[in-house]
Amino acid sequence: MGCRYLKTQLIISEKMDRDLNEKCAVFGIFGDSASSARETYFGLFALQHRGQEHSGIATTDGKEIHLHKGSGLVSQIYTEDILKKLPGFAAIGHNRYSTSHGNHVEYAQPFVYENLFAFGHNGNLPSIKKLVEFLESQNETTKHRSDSQLMSQAIGVYMKEGNSLPDAIEKAYPLFTGAFSCVVLGHNSMVAFRDPRGIRPLVLGKKGTEIIVSSETCAFETIGAEFIREVEPGEMVVITKNKIESKKLANENPKLDIFEFIYFARYDSVMLNKAVYEVRKNLGRILARENKKINKLNVDMIIPVPETAISAAIGYAEESGIPFEMGISKNRYINRTFIEPTQEVREEKVKLKLTPLKEVIKGKRIAVMDDSIVRGTTSRQIVKMLFEAGAKEVHFLVSSAPIRFPDFYGIDTPNQKELIASTKTVKEICEFIGATSLSYLSIDGMIEATGLPRESFSLSSFDGAYPINIEEREKEINYDVPTK
């Protein structure tokens, strides 16, 4: 029988963007429950921050893979009737942020391969040469296919040769050059596997007899599950009704992207046995220690750009003794809308999302904390907005180092030339955004905030050292960037 595919297409607005976006989140649950689709829905809801363009759920009843996916937020795509049409004792789900392949629903995951399995991928393969050469040798179509589609095809080729799902994944694994945290659903098994560097997170949980796989631990609380452990870099975990098996597919050399701690992960998640909330507070604390000059400028208050900078701003305030205030309000409902905005609204999107509290800001010397500066345009609008609200001074604080290099491992970063820190010094960036002063956290400070060794992390966006060979993408990199 073929895959049962129910497709929803929702009208969504142009991105009310952050300049950085995580591409994906994955979730899976395997057990005896008849409500696997419903629990996956709640898991994806908890992981919405990792992808806001598309979502999909695939389930198995042991004979057929059922699938529903669409464009929009999780709450917009699934209804009670849809969940009832996704029967089965196991399910996987995926949230996606669309990038180079556009926002067409055909690129939404999970991908189902000939009713053999459903495949979900978080990460990115900077090089697909090996995959394309292999698939073309097997007379498989490769044009207009995303890296995730090509990965699922390679696994499918090996399955059609008579291999089991785990064996097919093991055979295809050497073809995957890049970052990948994946969950795959067969008729009677679920498999989770991760690249040897562990660039993107992947964790295991348990709820009664059910085993859960998730991009982050925050999804476990949502469905009443408990955290077991991380899927290790280079590991494959095979989950069936009676057992869980683990196999090393490659020697591990962990290099979690440090941006997971700085921005992408939800603050109530745990990564590498560290609470993300505490790490973010440490980022602010250490920036305060590095930034004694601001602490002596008689700044009246520290305010965060909500949401991800709140923890860092609290840490900075605690360390410096400068009062913390919520001087900017965020509209939580602006990310997606059924109303297509006018050009005028697009240009005012920062004001739609963020509103300064004039009664808090007027006449004050403000230090505003954000987690990163990418192009600089959003930061410039925030500074302008605060001055228009009556601030006497606006000192801009950043709880990460300057982003000087593009990411190739699952973050949607602009072309390097659009990264403001790749072409301008800190002083020039300060002048561009119009701030009274600008202070970044050092790379060493970011590492210190985690309490983990430097070698635990990929710092490629900051230092240009790519822990997984980016192959043909190397020609896109300019290493001659400002150092101050």
Residues that constitute the known binding site for Mg(2+) = 308, 370-371
Q: Is 10 exposed, middle or buried (0-12, 13-18, 19+ CB in 10 A)?
A: middle
- List binding-site positions: 308, 370-371
Q: What is the DSSP string of 359-410?
A: HHHTT-EEEEEES--SSSHHHHHHHHHHHHTT-SEEEEEESS----S---SS
CA-CA-CA-CA dihedral for 419, 425, 426, 431, to nearest 10: -90
Eight-class DSSP state of 143: T
The tokens for 237 are: 């975990």
d(CA 3, CA 290) in angstroms, rounded, equals: 57
- Mode of pairing for the β-strands spanning 437-440 and 393-398: parallel
* Helix orientation angle between 276-290 and 443-450, rounded to the nearest 10 degrees: 140
Q: In whole angstroms, how far apart are CA 324 and each of 217, 316, 360?
A: 29, 9, 11
The tokens for 1 are: 């029988």
Q: Any bridge partners for residue 65, and if so which?
A: 60
With contact defined as beta carbons under 8 Å apart, do 32 and 209 qualify? yes
With contact defined as beta carbons under 8 Å apart, do 18 and 79 qualify? no
Segments of 399-462 assigned E as strands:
411-412, 437-440, 457-458
d(CA 98, CA 102) in angstroms, rounded, equals: 6
| Upper half-sphere CA count for residue 11 (Cβ side, 13 Å) | 5
Q: In sequence order, which ranges of 250-303 are alpha helices (DSSP H)?
A: 259, 276-290, 292-295
Segments of 97-140 assigned E as strands:
111-113, 117-127
- Mode of pairing for the β-strands spanning 65-71 and 4-8: parallel
Eight-class DSSP state of 308: T
Reduced to 3 states (helix: H, G, I; strand: E, B; else coil), residue 327 is coil
430 is catalytic: no
Query: Which residue in the list 3, 24, 218, 430 is annotated as catalytic?
Result: 24
The tokens for 286 are: 């250490």
218 contacts: CB under 8 Å, gap ≥ 6: 46, 47, 265, 266, 268, 269
- Catalytic positions are 24
